[in-house]
Chain A
């Protein structure tokens, strides 16, 4: 029993890797091979699908657009959430509990509910099809999340730290930036990771709010798959490339991932 313990996680990881393997193997196959029949690995190995993506501006602009609005969103969400999380963690003020729950309800709002009103709102203020529109729209669910995570991390820092700093004569902002933020650096990293993640994986709002200039890669994929026949190899190559940013950020926060998913509450 003891010795077979490693079997469960191993089987699970194998199960996780199967679709990823299939996606990668597809991306190195030619369209003929894919449609020709079932092959377990690429018989005539080709890089043509990747070449197409890196040379066609419609494709690589999709990646640039996605990365742009995801980065913008992460910066806006975390910057706005930092002071708010501090307030929730350190002070009691009028309506604080209601406010906290209200923020969280926005994490619960189905994007499908907001798609149409968002389209009208952002068209009305002239931001339709811009990176900032998607970045702002994604703050709807990322700000509550960032506040929640940061509040968890901040609350585990003893209040004596703040008090000592004030006794030493630090003004609030100086204390906050020079002492407090470095103390919760891990929490900020985790919050950035989560904002990045949820903005990177969301498509419905991103697709609804853009048409050409800020079109995300994921939307480019959907369109290509349906309009120009069924180019599975190309689709698989584009999909494989979307795994890379995620893999990179996971590697950086791997030691904090578990705590971060517990929203800083472990």
Chain B
């Protein structure tokens, strides 16, 4: 759409800018402030420059949390995106089952995050939970409070359960927007299902898939509540993701300087990756 150039449009944006600035700029400046100061807990602060950042970048604890975070995000993207596309492709296109599928699939997305954690927690209990009991009865040695591997499997299963529907809904929205004529043309040409997917469905889904990957990247990178309820970062530190580590430092130990430095580095990583996706998305949209 060709837009009119009109700087008075700023008046329409003022309420949003005021609200978000209050919520974003003031806290962000507080974080920046803490990240360059040292305190002994008596409300007196000293300038400390970039010491916290230097320490942070050499801190094995931070490396560990960041590594686990990247691993987690990578794994869930690898599972959820192909799985979501596959489910969207096999969903009915019209008829009464469409609504049933959509409503049931969207349900996990509207459950408060700590309830999601609690649900999986009671389902995975090794002796009395449905999942834990079944796995142990089948002969697997499964206990998510003791073994890091079990904890990771539960964590990933929980996220796949919670968020794959987002990818499904987005891909589905992209798929139903393809005109029937495209499929008819493919049929006349005798295209195989793979060719239909590769040259008709996938290009049409590109835009929504970029949004899906962007949202899944952001949200999985920021995940806090579900793992903290499910495993609390344990056993040991094996499932301590970045945000869990950060909340432990900031609200648990009140180490303001290190916590603020971690916050900023954390935010910058999310911002950088999201910016890349956003640019890609806008380029798609411009086409």
Which chain A residues have a beta carbon within 8 Å of chain B's beta carbons? 5-9, 12-13, 15-20, 22-23, 26, 34-35, 37-38, 40, 76, 79-81, 83-84, 86-94, 96, 99, 101, 103-118, 120-121, 136-137, 139-140, 143-144, 147, 155, 159, 197, 200-204, 208, 217-218, 221-222, 225, 232, 235-236, 239, 242-243, 245-247, 249-251, 254-255, 257-259, 261-263, 265-266
Contact = CB atoms under 8 A, between A and B. Distances in A.
Query: Which 10 residue pairs are nearest across A and B when measured between Cβ atoms?
Result: A246-B110, A117-B27, A258-B173, A91-B9, A87-B12, A112-B243, A83-B12, A110-B222, A87-B9, A117-B30
27 contacts: A12-B168, A16-B105, A16-B165, A19-B123, A22-B130, A23-B123, A35-B128, A38-B133, A87-B12, A92-B3, A92-B9, A101-B275, A104-B274, A104-B278, A109-B24, A111-B243, A113-B31, A201-B112, A203-B114, A203-B225, A218-B112, A235-B122, A242-B115, A249-B110, A250-B107, A254-B102, A257-B106
B225 A159 contact: no
B252 to A, nearest CB: 11
Contacts of B127: 37-38
Interface string B1-34: 1011111111011011101101110111011000
Given A16-B165, A140-B24, A250-B110, A262 B128 contact: no
Contacts of A143: 16, 19-20
Contacts of A101: 275, 278
B185 interface: no
Contact of A84 (B4, B15, B115, B120): B15
B222 A239 contact: no
Contacts, number: 279
A103 B14 CA distance: 12
B177 interface: yes
A23 B250 contact: no
Contacts of B169: 257-258, 261
Interface string B146-175: 000000000000000100111011101110
A105 B274 contact: yes
B176 interface: yes
B118 interface: yes
A91 B118 contact: no
B232 to A, nearest CB: 10
Given A92-B5, A136-B19, 11 more contacts: A18-B130, A83-B12, A86-B12, A92-B6, A93-B7, A112-B250, A204-B225, A235-B122, A249-B110, A257-B106, A258-B102
Contacts of B8: 93
B174 A16 contact: no
A26 to B, nearest CB: 6
B103 interface: yes
Contacts of B119: 19-20, 22-23, 239
B62 interface: no
Interface residues of B, number: 94
B104 A13 contact: yes
B129 interface: yes
B122 A22 contact: yes
B91 A9 contact: yes
B23 A136 contact: yes
Contact of B109 (A18, A105, A197): A197
Given A110-B270, A136-B19, A266-B177, A9 B112 contact: no
B25 to A, nearest CB: 10
The residue in B13, B102, B176 that gathers the most chain A C-beta atoms within 10 A of its C-beta is B13
The residue in A93, A120, A144, A159 that gathers the most chain B C-beta atoms within 10 A of its C-beta is A93
Nearest to A255: B99
The residue in A15, A121, A257 that gathers the most chain B C-beta atoms within 10 A of its C-beta is A257
Given A249-B110, A262-B211, A225 B118 contact: yes
Contacts of A118: 23, 27
The residue in B99, B109, B112, B250 that gathers the most chain A C-beta atoms within 10 A of its C-beta is B112
Nearest to B229: A222
Contacts of B107: 16, 20, 243, 246-247, 250
A113 B118 contact: no
B100 to A, nearest CB: 9
B271 A108 contact: yes
B19 A99 contact: no
B181 interface: no
